[in-house]
Amino acid sequence: MTSEFAVEMRDVVKRFITPEGNEMAAVDHVTMQIKNGEFFSMLGSSGCGKTTSLRMVAGFEWPTEGEVYIEGKAMGHTPPFQRKVNTVFQSYALFQHMTVYQNLAFGLEMEGAKDDEIKKRVGRALEMVQLTGMDRRRPRQLSGGQQQRVALARALVKTPDVLLLDEPLGALDLKLRKEMQLELKALQQQLGITFIYVTHDQEEALTMSDRIAVMSKGKVQQMGTPVEVYERPSNKFVADFIGESNFLAGKIKSISGNEASVFIPSLNAELAGMPISDGLVKGEEVNVCIRPEKIRIAEKEAVNQNMFRATVTNTVYIGVDTKVFVDAHGAKLKIWEQNRISRLDPKSFYTVGQEVWLMLMPENTLILKKD
């Protein structure tokens, strides 16, 4: 491997002509650098351009502008069969007229591999995905999960530098999905291949990835490790898309060092000692963002500067957590309270109408630029 990056997209734009005759940018000036051996995910809601980006790496689509590089080489109009990447398709795209063995052998035959080598490599690939003994079956005679593994093995048997996966687990049930997530991750670590993984499931992306590109409307909103995108979302979209967030509109009152005071009109209060990110100035309109699990809730007031009175409007028990919805001077907030104690006693719940105190720890809040 010569290049530091397995795959690089430089300022890539892909425009389509819609059936209505309009031009739309499915991918809009995307730049990504994916390191060798990295598990990289593209995460975003439906239609944000994930598949289109992946297809440009695979060679099924060509960028309207910009360039895709694989192993440092500009791809231009290189056809898919000359790129050292392989794809696991969302629909699996298995060859129904071939057995599992023939499906796997296909790619090796195209390389001109010898029969005994094909046999060895197919055997190893089947072992890797735990399908040994299934080689004479037709794809139709396999369960969804098994078909998924065949699709995976068919791509892996080619020992690509980069494996592209487009929502490969989309068709599986939740339990199998979770198992496969861990298996895929383990496989990727064991093989050391670069994975580019497309999903719209944030939990899946957080579970598996080394880095995530959060996409929206053809643009990359944020790129970072799972911890970074969850704990330090760079804008309101990311904060809202990954996990859940409370947003309070406010205005920066004063800045001292890297801490700021923010006035929140809806709470009619000032939040002090908040960590501030670059580029924010005094007097700027901002969004204060707090994760629901990071708000402390108490029945009595404690001595703390960032405490507010609130009224419980609703509670929902969901097993692991209790969701508490409150109204603080007109600002609606949601709080996830972990059920560390048994809630069998009804008195252990907050009741609707109850007065509580909320504590916002400065280190758990985030000041985001107003979009």
Partner 1 sequence: MLQRLRESKSAQGTILALPTTIWLFVLLIIPLILTMVVSFGRRSPDGGVIYTFTLDNYTRLFGYSTDCPDGQASCFDPLYVNILGRSLSLAFNTTLLVITLAYPLAYFIARAHPKQRNFYLFMVLIPLWTNFVIRVYAWMMLLRKEGAINIILGWLMNLLHIPFAPLEMLYTPGAVLVGMVYEFLPFMILPIYTSLEKIETPLYEAAADLGANAIKTFLRVTLPLSMPGVVAGTILVFIPVMGTFIVSDILGGRQVILVGNLIQRQFLDARDPTFGSAASLILMVMTLIVTYFYTRKFGFGEEIVVA
Which positions touch Mg ion (CB under 5 A)? 51
**Rounded to an integer, what distance in angstroms lies between the CA atom of residue 225 and that of residue 234?**
12
Task: Give the binding range for ligand ATP (CB under 6 A) out of 49-57, 77-85, 171-179, 284-292.
Answer: 49-57
Q: How far is the CB of 63 from Mg ion (least distance, A)?
A: 17
Q: How far is the CB of 47 from ligand ATP (least distance, A)?
A: 4
Contact residues for partner 1 (CB under 8 A)? 58-60, 79-81, 86-87, 89, 91, 93-97, 106-107, 110-111, 154-155, 158
Look up tokens 């859940």; give the residue: 244
- 22 touches ligand ATP by CB under 6 A: no
Among the listed residues 2, 46, 96, 338, the single contact to ligand ATP using CB under 6 A: 46
Question: Which lies closer to partner 1 via its Cβ, residue 157 or residue 312?
Answer: 157
Residue 188-217 contact track with ligand ATP, rule CB under 6 A, x = bound: ------------x-----------------
Q: Are 40 and 211 in contact (CB under 8 A)?
A: yes
- 357 touches ligand ATP by CB under 6 A: no
- 16 touches ligand ATP by CB under 6 A: yes
Question: Which lies closer to ligand ATP via its Cβ, residue 49 or residue 59?
Answer: 49
Question: Which lies closer to ligand ATP via its Cβ, residue 45 or residue 314?
Answer: 45
| Identity at 50, one-letter amino acid code | K
Q: Strand 85-88's sheet: what is its strand order?
A: 85-88, 162-166, 194-199, 39-44, 211-216, 219-224
In 129-264, which ranges are continuous DSSP H helix?
A: 144-156, 174-191, 202-208, 226-231, 236-241
The continuous run of DSSP H or E covering 305 comes out as none
Q: How far is the CB of 144 from partner 1 (least distance, A)?
A: 16
Look up tokens 């309109």; give the residue: 285
Q: How far is the CB of 243 from partner 1 (least distance, A)?
A: 33
Question: What is the secondary structure of 24-89 as a DSSP string?
Answer: EEEEEEEEEEEETT-EEEEEESTTSSHHHHHHHHHTSS--SEEEEEETTEE-TT--GGGSSEEEE-
Q: How far is the CB of 166 from Mg ion (least distance, A)?
A: 6
Question: Which lies closer to Mg ion via its Cβ, residue 200 or residue 334?
Answer: 200
Q: How far is the CB of 98 from partner 1 (least distance, A)?
A: 8
5-17 vs 23-35, strand pairing mode: antiparallel
- 49 touches ligand ATP by CB under 6 A: yes
Q: How far is the CB of 23 from Mg ion (least distance, A)?
A: 20
> Quick one: 185 exposed, middle or buried, by C-beta within 10 A (0-12, 13-18, 19+)?
middle
Q: Report residue 134 CA to chain centroid gap.
A: 33
Which pair of structure tokens corresponds to residue 67? Answer: 């360039």
- 47 touches ligand ATP by CB under 6 A: yes
For 116, residues 6+ apart whose C-beta sits below 8 A from its C-beta are: none
User: Which residues are near ligand ATP by CB under 6 A?
Assistant: 16, 18, 26, 44, 46-52, 200
